[in-house]
Amino acid sequence: MATTWIKPIHAGNSIATTLKLRTEYAKDHEKTDGGEYIAAFECDERTVDADFLLSKRLYEQKTGRNQGKNDVLAYHVRQSFKPGEVTAEQALEIGYDLAMRWTKGKHQFIIAAHTNTNSPHTHIVFNSTNLDHTKKFRNVKFSSIVLRRLSDQICLENGLSIVENPKLSKGWNRAEYLGENKPPTARDQLQELMDSVLPACKSLDDFFAALEAAGVEIKRGKQLSFKLPNGKKFLRHDTLGDDYIFEAIMERLSGKRVVMAKQKSIAPAVNENKPNLLIDIQAKMQEGKGEGYEHWARIFNIKEMSKTLLFLKDNGIDSYDALVEKSSAVCAEYNERLTKIKDIDKRNSFRCHIRCRYR
């Protein structure tokens, strides 16, 4: 049941000290059987902090950029496994594969398998600056989710179990982890309620009456404040956002200001996890392909089967009957929409024909 998280390592007061502390923790000889389970890419494990620091200096010289204390020096990734499922050697190998795929071989990194717990786990520290010292790693929104999916795919390829519904760990950003399932805050709920009643109100009294009818308590003192039904505290109007201050509410009532309905933020689809069709290895071998191709095709098929399994789990498909049912529903919806599109096209074509005829 592999679990994975990623944390940025900020510069702090001393770049050299920060890099040394983080890399020394990863390659701690007491946790790696005397340094036996340590590997590195494009750097020396003994001088990894100095190697990272040199790349920062070269990056600053080439680009002229220096973010000071706000700079992200490196990233720390931790990958753990189900107790008793992997050896230290396997954990190191799988972690190295994860680091290479995640950085695409463009960033230095050090990886160490720790054996001081009841199950081996790996720590990866990779340089935020790339190998040619011209760019830095972009830790975009939802990257933790993408990293976990990549880790799950690699674990499935190696026959390991994964966490079906991972819980929030201290290395995750809560908003990124929850994505579109993030529960609305009190402010979100109050904003949504205001947005729903405002269009039907013609005056401030109408607006207040509609909110009170919905169970909202209102304070009309120096600062206009609201409290939701069963809410813990009053929220001042000037903390709800520009569209909910008193002046903005008056403008919305008069029609001078129009506010569009809010949409939930949805995590972007991970295109690389979309499964492809498997290769018919036997047919390809009959066509004259060699042993090298056969080896590559077997690995490719294992990866695609892992992607397919993740895709099915993400879509709640746990049996063949469920797959048939969902496929039939999707096909029916597609055909219905296609019919509507064709009807619209016919009507538009007819209208164009009429206009052209009577011009």
Domain layout of the chain by residue ranges: 3-179, 186-254, 274-314
The per-residue pLDDT of the chain, averaged, comes to 80
pTM, two decimals, is 0.52
Please report the pLDDT score of residue 215 as a whole number. 84
Check whether 181 has a pLDDT greater than 90.
no
Please report the pLDDT score of residue 170 as a whole number. 45
Check whether 273 has a pLDDT greater than 70.
no
Check whether 128 has a pLDDT greater than 90.
yes
User: How much of the chain exceeds pLDDT 70, in percent?
Assistant: 82
Of residues 358 and 135, the one with the higher pLDDT is 135
Query: Could you report the per-residue pLDDT of 224-246, keeping only the tens digit for each?
Result: 899 988 788 888 888 888 888 88
Please report the pLDDT score of residue 344 as a whole number. 75
pLDDT band at residue 263 using 50, 70 and 90 as cut-offs: low
Q: Does domain 3-179 have CATH number 3.30.43.10?
A: no
Please report the pLDDT score of residue 180 as a whole number. 47
Query: Could you report the per-residue pLDDT of 156-170, keeping only the tens digit for each?
Result: 888 887 776 555 444
Please report the pLDDT score of residue 68 as a whole number. 75
Q: Which of 12-21, 229-238, 317-326, 331-340 is predicted with the least confidence, judged by mean pLDDT?
A: 317-326
Query: Could you report the per-residue pLDDT of 85-122, keeping only the tens digit for each?
Result: 889 999 999 999 999 999 999 999 999 999 988 778 99
Check whether 171 has a pLDDT greater than 50.
no
Of residues 5 and 133, the one with the higher pLDDT is 133
Check whether 216 has a pLDDT greater than 50.
yes
User: How much of the chain exceeds pLDDT 90, in percent?
Assistant: 22
Query: How large is the average pLDDT for residues 307-311?
Result: 72
Query: How large is the average pLDDT for residues 247-262?
Result: 80
What 3 state SS string does the chain have? CEEEEEEEEECCCCHHHHHHHHHHHHCCCCCCCCCCCEEEECCCCCCHHHHHHHHHHHHHHHHCCCCHHHCEEEEEEEEECCCCCCCHHHHHHHHHHHHHHHHCCCEEEEEEEECCCCCCEEEEEEEEEECCCCCECCCCCCHHHHHHHHHHHHHHHCCCCECCCCCCCCCCCHHHHHHHHCCCCHHHHHHHHHHHHHHHCCCHHHHHHHHHHCCCEEEECCCEEEECCCCCCCEEHHHCCHHHCHHHHHHHHHCCCCCCCCCCCCCCCCHHHCCCCCCCHHHHHHCCCCHHHHHHHHHHHHHHHHHHHHHHHHCCCCCHHHHHHHHHHHHHHHHHHHHHHHHHHHHHHHHHHHHHHCC
